[in-house]
Amino acid sequence: MGSFAEPRPNPPTAVAFLAAVLKGNAQTQEGFSNDRERVQDFVGRRLNEDFALVQRLSHSCTPDQILSAYIDVWQKSGRKRSIMSASHKELIPLKLPFPPNDEFGNFEPTITSDGNTIYFARFANTGDKRVRGKGSDIFVTHRVRQSGEWPGMAGDWTPPERLPDTVNAVDAVDLEPRITADGKTLYFMSTRPGGLGGYDIWMAHKQPNGEWSPAQNLGPNINTADHDHCFMPLGLPGQDDTAQFISTRPREAGGQPSDDIYVTKMENGAWQASRRYESKLLDSIRFKCRLNTVERDGLILGVVTVHDMATFHRMVFVHYDPTTKEWKGPIIDAPFNQPGVDGACPMFTADGDKMIWSARYDRGPGLIADAEGNGSVCDLFWLKTSDVIAYYKAKAGLS
């Protein structure tokens, strides 16, 4: 990030807007919408980056103290001093605007190829009465206005809407949506009746008229009597037709449940019988509940989400060696993991440019998502994939 654009916005207006952002006052933020052009450069992506850095460096400060620190930095920016220059190695999550973030929270997002549609889950216990019954439902938001660099600003995105009953089920846990690159198929996990086990993987197709077909269970090639969830692309070179997911099925008859990765291949329009994906490194990571893979800047990065239900939910980084065809370490914790704070389950855009996920970094410790479909209010965050990979390379000592 460079220095602030000139001319700078009216300081009182900008400072008032910043105070509203720091204190989470969406109504006050909306009140400044008429000053949008004047404060756009000040409160756009740069504001998110700057505030995240100040907040990260000042965990014990009150919002007013953080505001004072920011104003001090802002004033010094007249000498074209970027507050990122002294901390260019930091990996700071960037927060999406309000909306799509709101008071009810957004969990486990997936994003379309154009970056303009985000699907996510929402818990009933966070207060949105549109979630039918107990558990969680899947919602969607669209970017309908382009006001500069992605993700834009408040007002660019539609308020989240619940997907229809053809996708969501009453009194069920519907989580972990994943939209395919063509935007036509939505995979997700559900505890609804008609499945084979506790968690099953389901899918729904978007019709030419925009309506969603009734959700279908992926069947016994994928689902078992155990928990099967997090249906994601394998993401390795030459394996575009292969998906991977997490299953707790025992490795052998009569054995204990085991959180393992399974893979399945699409042939003749159908997912084939799944098999366990063996990797010494990945097998060594306990409580894994998702693997996301991206190839960028000469590295194949793996982001593993680890989740001990209602205890922790965080991310670790690894990488894949295409020469040996093995996953390798070092296993590095995401620097923004926080004790007692839910924050994991990322998705990458189809082109691999961005990573998006949900977390409570600005809200502090709270209920970690549990097996019954309860959770806390989380917000959507994102980072450029190149920044994540640069961080991993630096920490791992890779050239």
User: Which pLDDT does position 20 carry in this prediction?
Assistant: 54
Question: Which among 112, 116, 82 has a CA at the least distance from the CA of 96?
Answer: 116
User: Which pLDDT does position 89 carry in this prediction?
Assistant: 55
**Domains with residue ranges and CATH for the chain:** 11-87 (no CATH), 95-280+345-383 (2.120.10)
Considering the entire predicted model, what is its pTM?
0.80
Q: Which residue has the tokens 């989240």?
A: 160
Q: Rounded CA gap, 123 and 133, in Å?
A: 10
Task: Give, in degrees to the nearest 5, the angle at Cα 292 between 288 and 297.
Answer: 135
Q: What does the buried/exposed string (b/e) look like for 48-81 if buried means 16 or more CB atoms within 10 Å of the residue's CB?
A: bbbbbbbbbeeeeeeeeebbebbeebbeeeeeee
User: Which pLDDT does position 141 carry in this prediction?
Assistant: 97
Using the Cα atoms of residue 135, residue 175, residue 110 and residue 344 in order, give the sign of their dihedral. positive
Question: Which among 392, 397, 364, 396 has a CA at the least distance from the CA of 378?
Answer: 364
Per-residue model confidence as pLDDT tens for the chain (399 residues)? 333 333 333 444 444 555 554 444 444 444 444 444 433 344 444 444 444 444 444 444 444 554 555 555 444 443 223 333 333 357 899 999 999 999 999 999 999 999 999 999 999 999 999 999 999 999 999 999 987 889 998 889 999 999 999 999 999 999 999 999 999 999 999 999 999 988 999 999 999 999 999 999 999 999 999 999 999 999 999 999 999 999 999 999 889 989 999 999 999 999 999 999 999 999 999 999 999 999 999 999 999 999 987 888 999 999 999 999 999 999 999 999 999 999 999 999 999 999 999 999 989 999 999 888 899 999 999 999 999 999 999 999 997
- Cβ neighbours of residue 357 under 8 Å, at least 6 residues apart? 108, 109, 315, 343, 344, 345, 346, 347, 380, 381, 382
Q: Rounded CA gap, 257 and 286, in Å?
A: 12
Question: Which among 165, 167, 183 has a CA at the least distance from the CA of 175?
Answer: 167
CB-CB neighbours of 99 under 10 Å:
19
